[in-house]
Amino acid sequence: MTKMKMESKLHDMIGKLYTYKLKEHRVIRYKCETSFSKIVTDKEDIIINHDEASDFFDQFLMIDEENPVVSSQELMHPGASSQLQLPRSTIQESCGDLSAIIMENIKKVKEDKEFIPQANAINEQLKSLIELGKTEVDLIKAQVGFMRFSKGGDLY
């Protein structure tokens, strides 16, 4: 890939979220040299040789933050799109509500010690939600691994 094509592609990536090697990366900035480019993300700096750019971009998949769901079409026909959509987890959807419940329960326990049995019951339910969230994260990792594997890469 030429330096000019790299600059154009990397410029469009700034501020967007991507998945690469089972991690989410938000592109912050880039620097193009004659034979390589450096991408600075919120996780790490990535050096790409321009000769290997096509292979890199096959694995550096954009996440659609507006509609984060893996389509069945993409799972059945990987490579049809270079954009990976991840499902929203239960924890993501209810994080604000859960946080408010926890803080409210802490306040109630401080004010009234008789609330402790009810707080313990709520705590057990929250643990169940957290376990559900962990399972959902494992599913998302498996989907990403399957996508990479089906495109000829490694599972991890």
Q: How confident is the model at residue 74 (pLDDT cuts 50, 70, 90)?
A: very low
* pLDDT score for 89: 67
* pLDDT score for 91: 66
Cα 70 from chain centroid (whole Å) = 12
**Rounded mean pLDDT, 43-69:** 83
Q: How confident is the model at residue 30 (pLDDT cuts 50, 70, 90)?
A: very high
Whether 76 has a pLDDT exceeding 50, the answer reads no
Q: What is the dihedral of CA 67, 68, 69, 70, to 10 degrees?
A: 120
- More reliable by pLDDT, 79 or 98: 98
The pTM for the full model equals 0.45
Average pLDDT, the chain: 79
- More reliable by pLDDT, 72 or 3: 3
Q: How confident is the model at residue 72 (pLDDT cuts 50, 70, 90)?
A: very low
Neighbours of 28 (CB within 10 A): 14
